[in-house]
Amino acid sequence: MDCIFCKIIAGEIPSFKVHEDDATLAFMDINPLTEGHLLVLPKRHVTGLFDTDEETLTATMAAVRKVALALKGSLGIDSMNLLQANGPWAAQSVPHLHFHLIPRREGDGAGMDWPLKPGDMDAIGKLREKISAAGG
Ligand code: 5GP
Ligand code: ZN
């Protein structure tokens, strides 16, 4: 399979690993948005949240928590963004499920805040009905 993260998992491509267990791997992102930016992912190849089974996701989130606490303890941070992209319009560039753990520090300029603009309550209510009816 031509998946760069599967190759990292298989050891065919080197990485700076910070955590590994039977089901998951965590390694440093080589294009860090902030100091300490790393990725946590399942070893099973799933492309994103939409095709991930619950067991795989549960194992991955447990690893996310463990690594987040390691980041906090080692780097002395008290802020972090957890980011996960699904699909091209969400800026997913590697189609193997992964969570970005991005340490945040005062004035780091990494963004990710957006202006609060009140929405159309009718439209929001209708969307709520549609999503809820689909099992949300
Ligand atoms: P996405 O845009 O899919 O959410 O994020 C993919 C991430 O994978 C990017 O932040 C990128 O820097 C990282 N990445 C891509 N190729 C490699 C690689 O070969 N090694 C490592 N460690 N990270 C990679
Ligand atoms: Zn893969």
DSSP state of 78: S
Q: 29 Cβ partners below 8 Å, 6+ apart?
A: 37, 38, 39, 100
Q: Which of 47, 43, 36, 45 is nearest to 104 (CA)?
A: 36
pLDDT tens for 11-67 read 999 999 999 999 999 999 999 999 999 999 999 999 999 999 999 999 999 999 999
> Ligand 1 in contact with 31 (CB < 6 A)?
yes
Q: Residue 80 C-alpha to ligand 2 middle, in angstroms?
A: 25
The predicted pLDDT at position 122 comes to 97
37 carries an active-site annotation: no
Average pLDDT in the 62-75 region?
98
Cα 134 to ligand 1 centroid, rounded to whole Å? 33
**In the 3-class helix/strand/coil scheme, how is 89-111 assigned residue by residue?**
HHCCCCCCCCEEEEEECCCCCCC
Ligand with the closest atom to the CA of 85? 1
Indicate if ligand 1 lies below 6 Å from the C-beta of 127.
Answer: no
pLDDT of residue 70: 97
Look up the pTM and report it: 0.96
| CATH code of the domain made up of 4-133 | 3.30.428.10
